[in-house]
Chains A and B, each alone.
Chain A
Amino acid sequence: MIIERFIYYLGLHLTMRTKLLLKKIQGTQNIESIMETLGIERSKATYYVYRLRRQGYVKTKRLSNNRRLYNISFENKLGGKSYYEIINKYSPVKITTQEIYRVYGKEPSLEETLVYAIKTQRLRIILASLALFKKVENWPELYRLAKANHIERQIGVLYDLSRQIMGTRKMTKRFRNHALPKGDPSFNYVVPGLRSKDFQSIEKIWKIYVPFNKSDLEDYK
């Protein structure tokens, strides 16, 4: 019991030291910036990076001039993949967010990512995710996910919007026919309360308000 407790406290002490170091130098760094932040010599800075890397906190990028750039973050240790990383990979509109949603054991598909983005109902995330329409290939899967989350028409209206500002993959007729509003449903929103001045014709087709005006989409030009 005493030994177990000693090991526990030793572990706690070492964890605290690492956490303190992590806190001081987290973010994007090179070896010089670490030396300056901590006021230490190059050899010690290299040792600290080595120690943090061994624990999984460091991602390294070797630049063309053979210099190394480090991304030091607790999130690196968590592993998995975030929906935001996927959106940022494909979109010219980059997202930074405090929110953490990580997926383990599988690579989230573009279709899942698109549905996740629309479900957030957050303007910038949806704006960034429009770029995914360039890459979506599995329309049956997208329809299945959209139907399960009751956002078929939202996907439809954002697809038509994307077609007006960039080249996208073509939506299958089957998706379109199934997703188009039947009867006379009431208008709904992508982002509650937001509607467009510039895309009213698409809004009428899908009975969904578009949350963007033309000026919002300049990053796609």
Chain B
Amino acid sequence: MISIEKQQGLLLAISKKLKKPIRVYAVGGTAMMFLGFKDATLDIDLVFENKEDREVFKEAIKSLGYNAMDATIVYGGRPNRPEMFTLGDERFDLFVKEVIDFIFSEEMQKRAKQTHQFEGNLILKVADPNDIILMKCATDRLKDLDDAKSIITNFKVDWDLIFKESQNQKELGKIRAMFDLGYFIEKLENKFKMQISKKIKDDLWGALETEAESKKSK
């Protein structure tokens, strides 16, 4: 596990090794730590704007001793798997624009208001908590449900925004996004016996049902 203080030290060390300034989005446990939802994380999930920036970042972490690992161990055969690097029990999951079945859209980038600059080269933007839930839904790993629950209990989630973003994802070509979100919400409800906005479930399943019906009539 890496704490906030250790993580800041690590990001500073990476910044010193970077060959050029890059901007990156924190979308998972790291983002939750910056937002105060958790104190430590195992995985540092980052989304890059392009492959070139990821290459520069990879070189920097490799020079600090991180080793590549096979992403299929964690993500199986899912599309848009990250490149993964590990040292001890810490792990970097490095995505470029797409996170499994979701895109880190321009709207999500605009909503990432919190910025942390490590020396001159590394600018880290923290995803909005609503978007972190969507990203948790995308990665859907063992602890993602726990993390999503932590956000829901500590933050007033804007389910309308989440629904609209899932529609946006569909328009961007990510046709599974709405279904995955609905499925993720039901898993959350079942696992933690919690009640999540009925409206978003109705909206999601309603929209998906309409879509299915429209195919039938064709």
Interface residues of A (CB under 8 A from B): 8, 11-12, 15-16, 18-19, 22, 55-56, 74, 77-80, 98-106
B154 on the A face (CB < 8 A): yes
B36 on the A face (CB < 8 A): yes
Interface locus among B47-55, B80-88, B113-121: B113-121
Complex contact A102–B150 (CB within 8 A): no
Complex contact A104–B116 (CB within 8 A): yes
Cβ-defined partner of B115 (8 Å) among A18, A55, A74, A102: A102
Complex contact A100–B38 (CB within 8 A): no
Complex contact B119–A80 (CB within 8 A): no
Count of interface residues, chain B, beta-carbon cutoff 8 Å: 26
Complex contact B143–A104 (CB within 8 A): no
Complex contact B12–A105 (CB within 8 A): yes
Please report whether the interface of chain A is mostly helix, strand, loop or mixed according to DSSP.
mixed
Q: A101-B117, A103-B117, A105-B118 are in contact. Are A77 and B12 (CB under 8 A)?
A: no
Cα separation A15 to B4 with both chains bound (whole Å) = 13
**Closest Cβ–Cβ distance, residue A171 to chain B (whole Å):** 25
Please report whether the interface of chain B is mostly helix, strand, loop or mixed according to DSSP.
mixed
Complex contact B154–A19 (CB within 8 A): yes
**Closest Cβ–Cβ distance, residue A16 to chain B (whole Å):** 8
Complex contact B114–A12 (CB within 8 A): no
Complex contact B119–A105 (CB within 8 A): yes
Residues from chain B with a CB closer than 8 A to the CB of A56 are 4-5
Closest residue of chain A to B116, judged by CB?
A102
Complex contact A106–B36 (CB within 8 A): no
Cβ-defined partner of A79 (8 Å) among B1, B8, B115, B146: B8
**Closest Cβ–Cβ distance, residue B210 to chain A (whole Å):** 38
Q: A12-B146, A19-B36, A77-B4 are in contact. Are A104 and B120 (CB under 8 A)?
A: no
Complex contact A78–B117 (CB within 8 A): no
Residues from chain B with a CB closer than 8 A to the CB of A16 are 150, 153-154
Residues from chain A with a CB closer than 8 A to the CB of B154 are 16, 19
B11 on the A face (CB < 8 A): yes
Residues from chain B with a CB closer than 8 A to the CB of A19 are 36-37, 154
Cβ-defined partner of A99 (8 Å) among B5, B38, B113, B117: B113
Interface residues of B in 56-113 (CB under 8 A from A): 113
Complex contact A100–B4 (CB within 8 A): no
